[in-house]
């Protein structure tokens, strides 16, 4: 049975991400801030997509916690499997990628990712909520409970599909509006863009493998055993 403390933690994290999504949605009422969300609205930014992703994941996790306490572990195997798949292939890799990619580019040259003018629009606490706190929260989830990982082929394929979908959206928004989602893209040639996207995929795939290693280190091999052929 899921520990009460774990249930409470997951509920608090879900409440936090729900609050962040709501708070950001209210930014559209400001006369200045809507400019940030023009040409693709909020859903062009990986940072904000990640906040939605984390909200969905912790919503599923809380539901899993509650149902386990009511029905028991065996009756909700599908939900638990979906929770683990969502964490392994998206929730952990994307949140860690956003944290690392943002701060690496920010420390190198913040104008490539987060121009200084945004400091007058976005509070410092919100910047850290979106780009800093996401990492320790997802790391605690690794430590707090085991997650069953799919095969590397399945996990990396699903991650690649999500990555390609986002790249297509970035390119589509550029061709539709003539504006890149992030300033760094405007500095790159076609070859540079291809290299950037390729390296980005290798980076996030490496994060996926890191998550699998951390899970194995803390909990042992949690992958589902393959059925033997008769």
Asked if 96 and 46 touch (Cβ cutoff 8 Å), the reply is no
Q: What is the residue-level pLDDT of the chain in tens, covering all 230 positions? A: 468 889 999 999 999 999 999 998 886 555 555 566 555 557 889 999 999 999 999 999 999 999 988 876 666 889 999 999 999 999 999 999 999 999 999 999 999 999 998 888 889 999 999 999 999 999 999 999 999 999 999 999 999 999 999 999 999 999 988 889 999 999 999 999 999 999 999 999 999 999 999 999 988 876 655 544 44
**Cα distance between residue 83 and residue 85, in whole Å:** 6
**Cα distance between residue 165 and residue 167, in whole Å:** 6
**Cα distance between residue 25 and residue 10, in whole Å:** 23
Q: Say if residue 78 is exposed, middle or buried (CB neighbours under 10 Å; 0-12, 13-18, 19+).
A: exposed
Nearest residue to 87 via CA among 113, 56, 127, 65: 56
**Structure pTM?**
0.90
Number of H helices, E strands in the chain: 9, 0
């Amino acid at each position: 049975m899921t520990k009460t403390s774990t249930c409470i933690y997951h509920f608090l994290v879900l409440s936090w991400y729900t609050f962040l999504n709501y708070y950001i949605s209210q930014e559209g009422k400001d006369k200045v801030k809507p400019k940030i969300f023009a040409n693709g609205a909020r859903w062009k930014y990986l940072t904000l997509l990640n906040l939605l992703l984390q909200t969905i994941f912790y919503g599923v996790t809380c539901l899993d916690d509650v149902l386990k306490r009511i029905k028991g572990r065996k009756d909700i195997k599908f939900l638990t499997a979906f929770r683990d798949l969502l964490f392994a292939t998206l929730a952990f890799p994307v949140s860690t990628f956003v944290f690392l990619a943002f701060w690496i580019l920010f420390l190198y040259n913040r104008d490539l990712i987060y121009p200084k003018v945004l400091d007058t629009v976005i509070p410092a606490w919100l910047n850290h909520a979106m780009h800093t706190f996401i990492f320790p929260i997802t790391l605690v989830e690794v430590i707090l409970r085991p997650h069953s990982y799919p095969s590397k082929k399945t996990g990396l394929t699903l991650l690649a599909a999500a990555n390609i979908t986002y790249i297509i959206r970035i390119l589509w928004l550029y061709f539709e509006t003539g504006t890149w989602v992030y300033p760094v893209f405007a500095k790159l040639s076609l070859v540079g863009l291809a290299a950037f996207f390729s390296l980005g995929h290798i980076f996030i795939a490496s994060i996926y493998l890191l998550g699998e290693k951390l899970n194995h280190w803390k909990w042992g091999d949690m992958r589902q055993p393959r059925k033997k052929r008769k």
